[in-house]
Amino acid sequence: MDLKALLGQMTLEEKIGQLIQLSADFFGESTELTGPAQSWGLSIEELSSIGTCIGGKNAAEIRKIQEEHLKIDRNKIPLIFMRDIIHGYRTVYPIGLGLVGSFDPELVGECTEMAAKEAAAGGLHLTFAPMVDLVRDARWGRVMESCGEDPLLASTMGAAQVKAFQGEDISSRDHLAACVKHFAAYGAGESGRDYNSVEISERTLRQFYLPSYKACIDAGVKMLMPSFNDMNGIPSTANPFLMKRILRDEWHYDGAVISDWAAIWELTVHGVAADMKEAARLAFENGCHIEMLSSAYYKHLAELVREGVITEEAVDDAVMHVLRLKDELGLFDDPFHQADDARGEAMYLSPEHREVARRASEESAVLLKNDGTLPFSEDVKKVAIVGPFADEQAMIGPWSALGKTEEAVSVTSGVRALLPNAEISVHKACGYLFDELDKSGFADAIEAAKNADAVIICVGEPAHYSGEGNSRTDIGLPGVQADLVNEITAVNKNSAVLIFNGRPLALSNIYKNAPAILDMWFPGSEGGNAAAALLFGRANPCGKLAMTFPRAVGQCPIYYNRMLTGRPKKGPEEVYKPFTSGYLDCGNLPLFFFGEGLSYTTFEYNAMTLDTHELDEKGSIKVTVSLTNTGERAGKEVVQLYLRDKASSAVRPIQELIAFKKITLEANESAEVCFEITEPMLRFWNAQNEYISEAGEFELFVGYADHRYISDEFTLVK
Ligand code: NOJ
């Protein structure tokens, strides 16, 4: 398509139309204006030039809107249809925070490709994903969508998603364009409250928060979304430091930019724009090409051009970003992008797709504690499944596109399918909301537990306690669920606790009594089958935590790559030490660490060898780690390599993940895992905010967080 010629034939108003995104309910018959379009006071001509649409429930609806649109658009420019596909389209896989804990970028890619295929069949052209905001505060509900607290993990998993959504060519039938979000540091909102202000140093921003967005850009992401929050006083949508200096000047990003939902209007609510006209100018000048669902561009951009505040060349440039994307999607040749509900229906929840979702749920689950209770024997005769999630299908998670709870497998269904001959009793016992304090259902559950050979206690938080806008100040198990766990485990030690959650929960009040704890996250459509396979040993847990679990909410924000203070607390964690950095009433360490997760087998690390202990700017160090599966069954282990810079011009984290590899080992099998360390891996934002490495000594270890299995040292010489 000759985009320049196309642009040349467009009026200013038509160009501005390309920069506006409306929801599917704005678009009706080509001859008639309906609901929201009417209330916005849009004319048919104005509606005809709109560039993109958020939503559309299936291929039939999207085709219809596209057809009607092409009838009335003088320039015959197809709409792009966009939507959030966060952890699955119709076949739902685990929430992001769980899935990245598989530490398996290929599996993340497999799930993402499946979602892309389903969504593309359903008519979508672009997804608002991946979400790669670094997260350190479990109170924030959106941790559930994220790739966790570590920059390397978030970068690896963000890039894997971009590549899988987009494939080699976004015009191909099974792929979509991706949109990385929310730029930047949305996850650092004060006190874990959604949309809240972010106060952050440039060094922390660059060192920890920016790499994951950059990794997605390097992976070729087609679109970027600035975040709602203000950062150091300036909302991202109008933040020249982020949107111009970093994004364009330093990273040379030349893809499209879309505002978050009504975020341009919100500039007036933040109080950085006096009115919508100023909001339009600020967002536009800072490189926001498309306005999602507010009317600042529609109402004021043309006026700003006529007044000479914004040049028409700048509008042309923004429009070209939108047209180029349409062209790359192949929409000028096929405005429907081969959307086909029949193809979709054949895929949604097909055995192949369910298999991917189940495997992903199994590999995302994290075994947090096990005194040997798990796996249960398949020979059990009587099983009691207890708790509000016992037979709950609403555990697919808060944000699948078209996921249906009634299509999910509950724990009870999963266990029944696995043990068709066992006697299974189900006892909800209580609710899972904060204010559900009724314990009258406990008695039956306790009675059943007493008489059971195995007890599965299914507790957690409801899906709507995490996700957008859902922050919490108490991140324990809501209601009386902790009492349920403690009272059941008191009568039967052959009990395992399954947790369903969108965030790290503070589990101190059940930790001691629970013989085994398996975190399922929100596991998706196949959650119950995955849980059953894990509980009864058909699958071996291998997930690791992508985010630290605090002992108490008061420890938040808490994360493994913290800085070393001048007065670190030494010695037993529980003991308070005056004039050291700690709490009177709680240790500093979390209940569960980033990178932690047990297996039904055991791995022993035998040795770590470095082929040289001196590194210069051109060389590399080959690190070989050898380990053995010392248990009795095959298992998967994530070998994690951490670094500590022993002395540097600015304080460095106590440990940083610099590489990881996941391997499978049969019982008694040994393996060597190799890593390569080069000088760029040692770079950081130094005291002068330069990204460099500094000569000196470094400590290297394998293990996770504060757990060092084997360590060694090397020197960087310059
Ligand atoms: C608001 C959310 O912050 C963003 O992540 C999402 O993509 C948009 N709404 C569109 O649904």
* pLDDT digits 0-9 by tens, 149-159: 999 999 999 99
Burial class of residue 238 in the structure, from the number of CB atoms within 10 Å of its CB (0-12 exposed, 13-18 middle, 19+ buried): buried
Pocket flag, ligand 1, residue 399 (CB < 6 Å): no
Q: What pLDDT is attached to residue 31?
A: 66
Which residues have C-beta within 8 Å of that of residue 172, sequence separation ≥ 6?
none
Contact 524, 363 (CB under 8 A): no
Q: Judge contact between 479 and 452, C-beta under 8 A.
A: no
Q: Could you tell me the distance, in angstroms and rounded to a whole number, from the CA of residue 51 to the centre of ligand 1? A: 18
Q: What confidence score (pLDDT) does residue 30 get?
A: 64
Q: Which of 179, 423, 463 is nearest to 321 (CA)?
A: 179
β-strands 382-386, 291-292: how paired? unpaired
Work out which ligand 1 atom sits closest to the CA atom of 181.
5
DSSP 157-199: HHHHHHHHHH-S-TTSTT--EEEEEEETTGGG-GGG-TT--B-
Tens of pLDDT, residue by residue over 131-149, are 999 999 999 999 999 999 9
Give the position, in ligand 1's atom list, of the atom nearest the Cα of 228.
3
CA gap 70, 335 in Å, rounded: 9
Nearest to 372 by CA among 477, 487, 173, 514: 514
* Alpha carbon of 600 to ligand 1 centroid (Å): 39
Q: Name the strands in the sheet holding 423-427, side by side, starting at the edge strand that comes first in the sequence.
A: 366-370, 516-519, 495-500, 454-460, 382-386, 423-427
Please state, in angstroms and rounded to a whole number, the distance separating the CA atoms of residues 250 and 192.
30
Q: Verify whether ligand 1 is closer than 6 Å to residue 186 (CB atom).
A: no
Q: Which of 260, 391, 519, 645 is catalytic?
A: 260
Q: Is 333 a catalytic residue?
A: no
| Cα 261 to ligand 1 centroid, rounded to whole Å | 6
- pTM of the complete model: 0.98
What is the DSSP secondary-structure string of 544-597? --SS-B-SSGGG-S--TTPBPPSS---S-TTS--TTSSS-SSS-SS-SB-TT--
What is the whole-number distance in angstroms between the Cα of residue 258 and the centre of ligand 1?
A: 11
Where residue 338 falls (left for φ over 0; alpha for ψ -120 to 50; beta otherwise) is left
Neighbours of 109 (CB within 10 A): 18
* Atom nearest to 145 CA in ligand 1: 5
639: tokens are: 């070998």
Hey, which of 135, 179, 181 would you mutate to test ligand 1's pocket, going by the most ligand atoms within 8 Å of its Cβ? 181
**Which of 526, 485, 465, 287 is closest to 369 using CA atoms?**
485
Q: What is the mean pLDDT of the chain?
A: 96
26 lines ligand 1 (CB under 6 A): no
Q: Is 195 a pocket residue for ligand 1 (Cβ < 6 Å)?
A: no
pLDDT in tens, 81-94: 999 999 999 999 99
Segments in the chain below pLDDT 50? none
Buried b (16+ CB within 10 A) or exposed e, 491-517: bbebbbbbbbbbbbbbbebbbebbbbb
Structure tokens at 367: 């075994």
